[in-house]
Amino acid sequence: MPNLLEVKQVTKKFGGVVANKDITFSFEEGNVVGLIGPNGAGKSTLFNMVSSIFPPTEGEIWFDGKRIDRLPSYKIAPLGIARTFQNLQVFKRMTVLENVMVGLHTNSKSGILSAAFKLPGAKKEEQKMYEQAWEELKFVGLEDVADVEAGNLPLGKLRLLELARALATRPKLLLLDEIAAGLNHNETAAMSDLILQVRKRGVSIFVVEHDMDLVMRVSDQIVVLDQGEKIAQGTPKEVQNDRRVIEAYLGTEEEEEEVSL
Ligand SMILES: Nc1ncnc2c1ncn2[C@@H]1O[C@H](COP(=O)(O)OP(=O)(O)OP(=O)(O)O)[C@@H](O)[C@H]1O
Ligand SMILES: [Mg+2]
């Protein structure tokens, strides 16, 4: 299998903060790769660069054989990359279905304007988008609340809505940034099942998650960051037994204990 995503010596600086330092790794099509590390390790920063929200300070990112690190972010989704956000980004006054449709419009050939002006071709595309949106709402189990305003949904359902919206664009690579944050035990287990079902559809998935049960269960490979640096990469088992990984996590717990004293 060829590499779908290649991160080559990527560094990101925010003023004096080095959020990512010389990170290199690649991952094969069809895999689920977990990205873990203590708070502030640089996980979301790396996701933001893969989705071209901002460019790396140094290094290159390649997706599906194309260099993508200097592309404007609107060109990323059409290449086949979709994501969800750590801090949810849903339109609270729109219905669940409309939220998923919006994700598709920004990705459509005819675009929002031609849909608004009902130009030729737009109607057919609109129908297709509607069908795709429904399909994904059913997939995540939100069809019963399709007409409910998103602002009225509990957190667990909002996370599913973000997943549906990302999936509706039919990505090759799906980035999930803490998709289980704030979910209870059962919801987290159900989310793990869903991620594995998405994998079965042939979608490659890059998962940032603090819930270790979820990460260890869904990931083929895990990349570990600490203070901006990649400190380990391997199978879930390899990473769990890695001395530097254990130290990085224990170190954080000790610091937290000190704070709480
Ligand atoms: N847009 C930004 N501007 C300035 N500093 C930033 C920005 N984004 C991230 N940082 C800084 O970069 C470092 C890494 O942050 P990042 O959000 O990538 O960590 P993270 O691993 O996702 O953490 P968490 O698990 O808490 O979400 C932190 O010091 C953070 O304050
Ligand atoms: Mg983060």
30 band by pLDDT with thresholds 50, 70 and 90: very high
What CATH architecture does domain 1-80+172-261 belong to?
3-Layer(aba) Sandwich (3.40)
pLDDT for the residue 257? 47
How many whole angstroms from 62 Cα to the centroid of ligand 2?
22
Domain ranges of the chain: 1-80+172-261, 90-170
pLDDT reading at 119 higher than 70: no
pLDDT for the residue 123? 77
Over residues 41-58, mean pLDDT: 96
Polymer length in residues for the chain: 261
116 band by pLDDT with thresholds 50, 70 and 90: low
Q: Two tokens at 179? A: 């998709």
Q: Which residues fall within 8 angstroms of residue 105, CB to CB, at 6 or more apart?
A: 111, 112, 115, 129
Over residues 38-53, mean pLDDT: 96
Over residues 10-18, mean pLDDT: 97
How many whole angstroms from 39 Cα to the centroid of ligand 1?
8
Distance CA 172, CA 134 (A): 19
Over residues 122-127, mean pLDDT: 79
CA 79 remoteness from chain centre: 15
127 band by pLDDT with thresholds 50, 70 and 90: confident
Q: Two tokens at 40? A: 């502030």
CB 27 within 8 A of CB 2: no
- The one-letter amino acid code at 203 reads V
How far are the Cα atoms of 92, 127, 154 from residue 149, in angstroms, in the given order? Answer: 6, 21, 11
Q: Does the beta carbon of 41 sit less than 6 angstroms from any atom of ligand 1?
A: yes
**Number of neighbouring beta carbons within 10 Å of residue 168:** 25
Ligand lying nearest the CA atom of residue 38? 1
Q: List the residue whose alpha carbon is closest to atom 13 of ligand 1.
A: 19
Over residues 44-52, mean pLDDT: 96
